[in-house]
Structure 1
């Protein structure tokens, strides 16, 4: 069951990226984690999607930031342990590389990158508040491969073990403890701004409605039918047909629901893929 809009906290995806779209908050949090090594943030994209790698699985990044040196930061909030984080980070890194290196560019043009996961659980299971990974030589761990990749998994459950007071305050905040720390209060202020926004409230309702319809029985039946057809007719074609047959009614109903809550025709068209004419006929 998804939380109501008013129940959202920093550990919920929607609230996390809405807070992090504030450049100052984003930069401050990155500096807290990376010990004041961040340059000027020049770009922040929320829910950035990379889907242009042929038939490969697409990736959606919570917060994608870039600094003045071209370094890329993927910042994620993870509240549920799906036991796939290590391989997920590996795939995210590959998606970052594919998305930024254009055809005929040399490999040395790949920017440095940081993938940072804030977790409400201890994925590694060793009781540390922060786990940082770089590529090192197995035979001599003093030798590091200069590939520019840093992966960081943060465990809020070990907040009391964190030596940095700033990071400790944030991890405790993830665990539900609100302190009078200036940065935490700034985040609290931003959360209040988000919750006062009727536009963001409607956006969250749209996301909930769309995801709920995507999980309904008709959608699942459509996927299964598509898979079965795919075995005989070609996987990709069969899945598309199955989705289209099982999901069409759900999309129309979703559009009707979104009209009822006052969403604009343009936003509904973007969310559902329906044309303006189809929506206006509902």
Structure 2
């Protein structure tokens, strides 16, 4: 009964195979663009000029200024021969906080640009943050939004602080300021296939497509995708069980019994009874972590579960 309940709760659409994914998928995006040649091609299409990118491109680069402060994880980070820094992020969901998140990312990046004791802030690298998303963050239907610091009183005056933030909307309709090559790239991000690549005259886009094909044809990448997907599915399952334990404990503190709790939560009585019994061992504190360990321990997942949970960072 317990197995059936959680199977129903987690079941969505089956995970897609690597060959079915497009660049909106963060796993594929990172794998493709950690190749310096492919990343350079994408940056040149977006920025509209040639870039001499160094070979030190990193995906999922972690930066933390202090242990007590929140760190950041960058999707794809790169640096050119002039020491300009580029960070590109793939964002499939509108979390309603992307402008401020980009501000935080920029501040954390900036904090590590100068060595201790350096007093000349002109030595700070230029930083370009690029966010690619399948939605319009600002409601103007533009394909591209580029932000730099300007003076409110004189819009022709740039602060010239070396920071640029770019937001790309793959589904935009206002193409002003966008090259055909960039529009082809935005289309390819949504449909990363042979036909779309062939229809474009961009040699950079064809180069990018070759890298996509290379990543998709690598069996090791398929295995890594499956492992990552399973880890996400197990984490979701653990979170669902932990939440249920917390709900049960709240009702136990109110004097409810297992039958009442099962009915109110619309859960299986057998599962709720097990949780209640485990909770008595940690009463009156009702330590949820301790209860979880009593019930499932570290090996909480069971190979018999059918995990079909769709995760935006793994399988579409």
TM-score (norm 2): 0.67
**CA offset at residue 63 of structure 1?**
0.1
Please identify, of 100-109 and 77-86, the stretch whose mean Cα deviation from structure 2 is larger.
Answer: 100-109
Paired residue for 1:108?
Answer: 122
Structure 1 residue 11 and structure 2 residue 24: aligned? Answer: yes
SS at match of 1:158: coil
Contact 2:34 2:59 in 1 (8 A): yes
8 Å contact from structure 1 (residues 160, 168) kept in 2: no
Q: Does 1:198 align with 2:219?
A: yes
Distance in 2, Cα, partners of 1:159 & 1:43: 35
Report which stretch shifted further, 204-213 or 70-79.
204-213
Aligned-pair CA distance for 1:22: 1.9
Aligned: 1:145 with 2:159: yes
Structure 1 residue aligned with 2:205, among 147, 170, 184? Answer: 184
Q: What is the aligned partner in structure 2 of residue 164 from structure 1? A: 179
User: Paired residue for 1:65?
Assistant: 78
- Moved beyond 6 Å, runs of 4+: 222-225, 241-245
Q: Which has the higher helix share?
A: 1
Within-5 A mapping of 1:208-219: 208-218=229-239
Structure 1 residues 251 and 124 mapped into 2: Cα distance closer, same or farther (>3 Å)?
farther
> Deviations for 1:33-73, whole angstroms, at most 9, x for unmatched residues?
11215233342001111134232222111100011111110
The size of the alignment, in residue pairs, is: 242
Contact 1:159 1:168 in 2 (8 A): no
Quote the Cα distance in structure 1 between the aligned partners of 2:146 and 2:91.
16
- 1:16-55 aligned within 5 A: 16-55=29-68
Distance 1:198 1:175, change over 3 A: closer
Structure 1's 252 and 104: CA in aligned 2 closer, same or farther, altered over 3 A? farther
Question: What's the counterpart of residue 136 of structure 1?
Answer: 150
1:27–1:41 contact (8 Å) kept in structure 2? no
Q: In the alignment, which residue of structure 1 is the partner of 2:259?
A: none
Matches of 2:122 and 2:289 in 1, distance apart? 41
- CA RMSD of the aligned region, Å? 3.0
Residues 205, 153 of structure 1: alpha-carbon distance in 2 compared, 3 angstrom cutoff: same
> Any gaps of 5 or more consecutive residues in structure 2?
1-11, 250-286, 304-316
Structure showing greater radius of gyration is 2
- TM-aligned CA distance change 1:56 to 1:136, over 3 Å: same
Distance (whole Å) between structure 2 residues aligned to residue 250 and residue 190 of structure 1: 42
Following TM superposition, by how much is the alpha carbon of 1:10 offset from its aligned partner in structure 2, in angstroms? 1.1
Q: 2:190: which partner in 1?
A: 175
Larger displacement relative to structure 2 (78-87 or 105-114): 105-114
Q: Which runs of 5+ in 1 are unaligned?
A: 229-240, 258-282
Post-superposition CA distance 1:70-128 (Å, at most 9, x none)? 11100111121111110110111011112333332333332110000111111111111
- How far apart, CA to CA, are the structure 2 residues paired with 1:223 and 1:136? 50
Cα distance, 1:253 vs structure 2:
5.9
- In 1, Cα distance between equivalents of 2:165 and 2:43: 13
